[in-house]
């Protein structure tokens, strides 16, 4: 059963701590993405990766870091430099061939800073 | 000004009503237009996509694109309580892996 998994579903962080959100896909997609969703603001792109060992900053990359060591995995680290990290984080993947980009999303991780 | 504008609502309609959702955009290079549906505390899922201008129908759902006005719409006929969700418009240029999303409109269909 193909899809995208994210863990944990809920995550609580104290101020000053780094946390890592997991994203795994078994769709054999080359491209993977991280978005942040806040109420009334839609989805904002944090980072994306089109191939293993390569990734690009999105619109709001400051305070975040990623790695892409395996095709299936694209973890996101929220560092202490991110001033307002409380949000819903969504991971997505897509193929890289074809004229348009249908992205498949995971169930999300809700991060709360205490 | 945001690249894609979408009224966040919320929108509440009685069961059986027609739901009308829309987005405007500023980038004339957008060629692919998508609607995603997102249930509460879940990830979005693609509902429909349209290339360039025109209409596309899929069951109770109709998507319209008017590139001359930079305006897209989604209509839901005979709405059901199961249609209660947030609907996000998204768009991209040809062969571009980046999607630009609207803020999402939250719809509630009352039984």
Distances in Å between the Cα of A17 and the Cα atoms of A80, A113, B86, B100 are: 6, 9, 32, 31
Is the Cβ pair B101, A43 closer than 8 Å? yes
Distance from CA of B103 to the nearest CA of A (A): 4
Residue A1 has pLDDT above 70, yes or no: no
Is the Cβ pair B102, A42 closer than 8 Å? yes
Residue A39 has pLDDT above 90, yes or no: no
Confidence of residue B82 (pLDDT cuts 50, 70, 90): very high
Residue A102 has pLDDT above 90, yes or no: no
What percent of chain A lies above the pLDDT cut of 70?
A: 96
In chain A, which residue's Cα lies nearest the Cα of B40? A107
Is the Cβ pair A100, B101 closer than 8 Å? no
Confidence of residue B87 (pLDDT cuts 50, 70, 90): very high
- Indicate the residue of B88, B92, B97 with minimum beta-carbon distance to A96: B97
Is the Cβ pair B97, A101 closer than 8 Å? yes
Which of A103, A108, A111, A112 to probe by mutation at the B interface, max B CB count within 10 Å? A103
Is the Cβ pair B44, A43 closer than 8 Å? yes
Residue A36 has pLDDT above 70, yes or no: yes
A68 or B94, higher pLDDT = A68
Confidence of residue A101 (pLDDT cuts 50, 70, 90): confident
């Amino acid at each position: 059963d193909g899809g995208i998994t994210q863990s944990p579903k809920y995550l609580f962080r104290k101020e000053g701590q780094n946390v890592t959100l997991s994203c795994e896909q078994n769709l054999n997609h080359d491209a993977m993405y991280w978005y942040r969703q806040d109420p009334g603001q839609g989805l904002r792109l944090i980072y994306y990766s089109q191939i293993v060992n390569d990734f690009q900053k999105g619109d709001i990359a400051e305070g975040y870091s990623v790695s892409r060591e395996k095709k299936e995995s694209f973890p996101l680290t929220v560092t202490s430099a991110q001033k307002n990290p409380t949000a819903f984080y969504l991971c997505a993947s897509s193929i890289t061939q074809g004229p348009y980009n249908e992205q498949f999303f995971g169930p999300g991780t809700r991060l709360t800073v205490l | 000004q945001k690249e894609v504008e979408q009224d966040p609502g919320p929108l509440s309609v009685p069961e059986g009503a027609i739901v009308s959702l829309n987005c405007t955009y500023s980038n004339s290079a957008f060629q692919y237009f998508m609607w995603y549906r997102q249930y509460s505390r879940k990830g979005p899922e693609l509902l429909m996509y349209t290339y360039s201008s025109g209409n596309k129908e899929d069951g109770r759902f109709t998507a319209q694109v008017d590139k001359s006005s930079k305006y897209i719409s989604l209509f839901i006929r005979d709405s059901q309580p199961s249609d209660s969700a947030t609907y996000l418009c998204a768009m991209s240029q040809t062969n571009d892996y980046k999607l630009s999303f609207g803020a999402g409109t939250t719809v509630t269909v009352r039984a």
